[in-house]
Structure 1
Amino acid sequence: MPPRKAATTTAKAAAAKAAPAKAAATTKRKRAADDDESAAKTNGVNGVNGVHDDAKPAKKAKKETTPAPPAKKATAAARAKTPASDADKENSAPAAANTNGDKTKKRAKSATPAPAAAKAKAPTAAAKRKAEAAAEANKETKKDAKKEAKKEMKKEDEEMKDAKAVEAADAAAEEEEEEEADKKKEARAAPAKKAKKAAVVNKPTEKIGAKINDAPTKPLEVFVFGEGSAGELGLGSVAVNGKKPVDVKRPRLNANLDPTKVGVVQVATGGMHTVVLTKDNKILTWGVNDQGALGRDTTWDGGLRDADADADSDSDSDDDDSGLNPHESTPAEIDTSGVVPGTKFVQVVASDSASFALTEDGRVYGWGTFRASDGILGFSRYVDVQKTPVLLPEPKKVKALATGSNHILALDIKGKLFTWGCPEQNQLGRRCVQRDIKESALRPGGVGIKRGVHIAKIACGSYHSFALDKKGEVYAWGLNNFGQLNVEQGAGDTDATVLNATVVEGLEGHRVADIDGGEHHSVACTDDGKLFTWGRIDGHQLGLAASTFTEDNAIFDEFGKPRILKAPTLVPGVPSTVTAVNAGTDNTFALTSEGKVFSWGFSGNYQTGQGTTDDIELPTLIDNTAVREKKLVYAGAGGQFSIVASLAEN
């Protein structure tokens, strides 16, 4: 497996003339790694950073159409007045009296007496007709006045009804808005509740299924080498016998993994951390834990010491202290509080910032996170960083796992392949919906491989993937910018990728036994022990002499230097007994049936185990006193460190 490098809405204060306003609901240490770290995402959850969905803009004040409220009751002093007498009531004018009464009073006060009725002249016929016409006209005027009054009353009634209807509609709209706001609040709270539920690990109640996988049983001696400045070597934080736990040039036995006490049976190297499985079913981790890849709490206060005591001391112990976090740099067991009781593990794998473990019954546990080009992608749709191991709901009945830098492959008992993680270089071998990338990419999905093909083995490069069928034929997909897929089309282009599983034509006719990928190169061995490499050239990743590359088999840059080997090419100088291969970012290992390991490629951090920071051009035997007499059975590369292991002596 390859190493992995590691707007606030306004309140309704402006609507003072309208209904009262409603109150608006107010509802990691990143190490300086090689890649840029973006801030942890909130997944666009509404209600964060002061944005509240339930706050509504102020409504325009309505015209007052409802009757004025009744006047307040009189004060106690007013109520103490003596009630009016009956005589007073009779003599007082009605509140609604018109001017007719007033005119009568004025006439009564007039000094000129009214003419006697008897003296009035009898009306003439013309005057009579005129009076009748005036009376008739008066009647019509009164009728018109009554009609107008009725119209006005009807209009007022209609306006009142309209006002009430508008008021009712506003009330209904306001109530609907409140309900909609409540729904949005519930919708926002749901993912948070789910995330909290997923992040808080409780003892699962699921039952253990039927056994379909077997765990390795033979204890290993573990040898480490490389930089180790982030605790990747697992040697602890303090020098032992004068040997510091960093910058280890050649394989060194890790005393913290004594086979008689710990009994490691399987090793997996990630970008900047390591995961191992022990004979007594424990999973130990060490290295960088910034995104939860270790599956346990590694909080450390920095190891504060008494300055006065140090000043009085003649000890040189300061030279023995590396300053590493002892909880990260020392192997320790993962948090198993979320593991179903009785679970037995059979395989562990590690990516850049995540780890996974396969169980005897084919279930998968995982912890950590996946990263994308802009930072954290997440562990699942609702969880950005999973700090402790959690049982994944799918897939089930899995037989094997493999990881790239930020993606994972799972092969089930029927030969069906599942992938999930970062899809940016098409390393998942399937299309993902961009508008809901967390749902489509972080949930396991199948890879389309032609009918009749039964996949038997899986492997990954940093950003590309491999699947081997039962006949030893190889399918590949993902990043192809350096031709690491043996697809010439697009090779040399920065963004060249292959979406669908494609046959590696350069290996046709060979029965491939093992395969792996680095960042931009690939390596494979056949069942008859032959070794093949292809892809990027300029860091000596392929183990081939410069004279190997020609205009026919390679792509040259503008300076006339070979950059890409287009097809798998046989690597000379290695015994024809290679049984397993492993690729680091820009370095490579080949393990032989005799228990020897050859390494080559970039060695800037001693990750080739050859004791130098110079690149190793050709395959070279790893040979020092620690491993010379050992039969090595494993070789793995991390980002800036590597591990080899041998069977423990009885």
Structure 2
Amino acid sequence: MAAAESAHPVVLAWQSLSLLLTVGSGEDGQLGMGNWEEKDWAYSIKSLEPKNVVAVVAGSRNSLAICSNGQLYTWGWNQRGTLGHPPETKTESVPSLVDALAGVKIVQAAIGGWHCLAVDDQGRAYAWGGNEYGQCGEELERKEDGSRALRRDIAIPQRCAPKLSVRQVAAGGTHSVVLTQDGHVWTWGQPWPPGDITQISTPVRVQGLERVRLIAVGAFHNLALLEDGTLWAWGNNEYGQLGTGDTQPRSQPIPVQGLSGLTLVDIAAGGWHSTALTNVGEVYAWGRGEHGRLGFGDDKSSKMVPQKVQLLVGEDIVQISCGGTHSVACTRDGRMFSFGRGDHGRLGYGRKVTTGHPMEVPIKLLPPRDSGSTDGQWCAKLVACGGRHTLAMASWVEEPGDSI
């Protein structure tokens, strides 16, 4: 439910000495550490260090990484086939290659409640995992008695939305959303508010949206950022996560309030909250505020319209990720600030603290052996929040004046 990439790129000269960091709950193997322990500090996933990971996604109970050669690795909870491997295991604590996609170059992916989506460099989309609501986009199968029904679980990735040329995929709790090359948005799976579920495995175009630049999907709500800078939302609105000033659900897109005059460059949706990032590095948040996931200090109430996260002003944020109950923001100079629910150590502070006040996440790792210098620091360049864990990509940046 978190985007794999930021639309506002970090402009540091990142070196090739990179790590994939992991912290939080490991009960389903989602940390990729080869065990089921939880971590309060950020650790490197050793098995992925030589793989040249370029993007990561954290789901509610599993994780995935995309490598520079387009290979996709998954790990964590696998009971619904969410890892894209044959369903012999319930969980996997070590990242494994998704063999079914080894012949294509994956460029972007998403994890929903029980299913995953991916898109390759040719605009072809793939889906796997739980499919009880048709969220994998599979057509109904005819049984021997003549009736038709959906396959509940799909363990091996297969093509979905084959008639669409896809640019971005996003996955919700029980539905899927894709952005096509022509700027249109299509969706399938369990809609919100719930409607007719007899043909939900067939993609339906979301009316009223043209020239869409980015999409973001929470558990049951959706965001679409248009090229003209306006933000639209639809779906569940129980906690004001649509930013419409009320808590009424919308079956069709409606403009998000309170953002006029701002230049938005990125968006993110958590389980029940939403964020938007401006071109000057400021964050706006709205939706469910319990556990402080919006970053407004001690104020844990829900917000029905976007409000500036004042506690991050001046930090020059370039990307933010929203999880189930926490959020992490990444700065231009490679620092991370996390806030929200802190049990299981998902905030990365070394202690299980819950806070609505953004705090910097320390990266307590030794310098890389082949760096040639100990004068430098690990800098984050991409963060991804899951249900109870956090992933981040970090690179070693030497201090000015050191040899490179």
TM class, shorter-length: 0.7 to 0.9
Using a 3 Å threshold, how does the CA distance of structure 1 residues 620 and 443 change in structure 2: closer, same or farther? same
Using a 3 Å threshold, how does the CA distance of structure 1 residues 530 and 391 change in structure 2: closer, same or farther? same
> Is the Cα contact below 8 Å between 2:170 and 2:217 reproduced in 1?
yes
Hey, what does 2:20 align to over in structure 1?
222
- Among 304, 309, 312, the alignment partner of 1:566 is 304
Indicate the percent of aligned positions where both proteins have the same amino acid.
Answer: 25
Q: Which secondary structure does the structure 2 equivalent of 1:539 belong to?
A: helix
- Among 176, 181, 184, the alignment partner of 1:413 is 181
Using a 3 Å threshold, how does the CA distance of structure 1 residues 278 and 271 change in structure 2: closer, same or farther? same
Q: TM-score, normalised by structure 1?
A: 0.53
Q: Which secondary structure does the structure 2 equivalent of 1:605 belong to?
A: helix
Q: How far apart are residue 269 of structure 1 and its match?
A: 1.4
Q: How far apart are residue 624 of structure 1 and its match?
A: 3.4
Tell me which stretches of 4 or more aligned residues in structure 1 moved more than 6 Å: none
Hey, what does 1:403 align to over in structure 2?
171
Using a 3 Å threshold, how does the CA distance of structure 1 residues 538 and 359 change in structure 2: closer, same or farther? closer
1:515 matched to 2:267: yes
1:481 matched to 2:238: yes
> Is the Cα contact below 8 Å between 1:218 and 1:265 reproduced in 2?
no
- CA–CA separation in structure 2 for the residues paired with 1:425 and 1:641: 29
**Larger RCO: Structure 1 or Structure 2 (Cα < 8 Å, ≥ 6 residues apart)?**
2
1:368 matched to 2:157: no
From the two aligned structures, give the one with the greater strand fraction.
Answer: 2
Q: How far apart are residue 250 of structure 1 and its match?
A: 1.2
1:607 matched to 2:346: yes
Q: TM-score, normalised by structure 2?
A: 0.84
Moved more, 386-395 or 409-418: 386-395
> Is the Cα contact below 8 Å between 1:345 and 1:358 reproduced in 2?
yes
Deviations 1:83-137 (A, max 9, x none): xxxxxxxxxxxxxxxxxxxxxxxxxxxxxxxxxxxxxxxxxxxxxxxxxxxxxxx
Using a 3 Å threshold, how does the CA distance of structure 1 residues 468 and 387 change in structure 2: closer, same or farther? same
- CA–CA separation in structure 2 for the residues paired with 1:220 and 1:443: 40
Using a 3 Å threshold, how does the CA distance of structure 1 residues 379 and 455 change in structure 2: closer, same or farther? closer
- Among 439, 443, 446, the alignment partner of 2:205 is 446
Where do 1:212-611 residues align within 5 Å? 220-237=18-35, 245-258=36-49, 261-297=50-86, 299=88, 328-336=92-100, 343-370=104-131, 380=138, 381-382=140-141, 383-425=151-193, 432=195, 434=196, 437-439=197-199, 441-449=200-208, 453-489=210-246, 491=247, 496-546=248-298, 563-574=301-312, 575-611=314-350
Hey, what does 2:363 align to over in structure 1?
624
Q: How far apart are residue 538 of structure 1 and its match?
A: 2.8
- CA–CA separation in structure 2 for the residues paired with 1:378 and 1:581: 27
Q: Which secondary structure does the structure 2 equivalent of 1:257 belong to?
A: helix
From the two aligned structures, give the one with the greater helix fraction.
Answer: 1
Q: Which amino acid aligns with 2:82?
A: A
- CA–CA separation in structure 1 for the residues paired with 2:163 and 2:224: 17
Q: How far apart are residue 371 of structure 1 and its match?
A: 5.3
Q: How far apart are residue 520 of structure 1 and its match?
A: 2.1
- CA–CA separation in structure 1 for the residues paired with 2:190 and 2:124: 21
Q: Which secondary structure does the structure 2 equivalent of 1:524 belong to?
A: strand
Deviations 1:555-607 (A, max 9, x none): xxxxxxx7322221111232341111110111111111111111001111211
Aligned length, in residue pairs: 367
- CA–CA separation in structure 2 for the residues paired with 1:226 and 1:576: 24
- CA–CA separation in structure 1 for the residues paired with 2:117 and 2:180: 15
Q: Which amino acid aligns with 1:422?
A: Q
Q: Which secondary structure does the structure 2 equivalent of 1:642 belong to?
A: strand
Q: Which secondary structure does the structure 1 equivalent of 2:258 belong to?
A: helix
- Structure 1: 5+ residue stretches without partners: 4-216, 238-244, 301-324, 427-431, 550-561
- CA–CA separation in structure 1 for the residues paired with 2:161 and 2:319: 32
Q: Which amino acid aligns with 1:294?
A: L
Q: How far apart are residue 298 of structure 1 and its match?
A: 5.3
Q: Which secondary structure does the structure 2 equivalent of 1:471 belong to?
A: coil
Deviations 1:428-465 (A, max 9, x none): xxxx5x2xx142x2211100115xx4111111122110
- CA–CA separation in structure 1 for the residues paired with 2:170 and 2:187: 10
> Is the Cα contact below 8 Å between 1:219 and 1:264 reproduced in 2?
no
- CA–CA separation in structure 1 for the residues paired with 2:94 and 2:354: 30
> Is the Cα contact below 8 Å between 1:398 and 1:410 reproduced in 2?
yes
Q: Which secondary structure does the structure 1 equivalent of 2:75 belong to?
A: strand
> Is the Cα contact below 8 Å between 1:603 and 1:616 reproduced in 2?
yes
Q: Which amino acid aligns with 2:304?
A: K
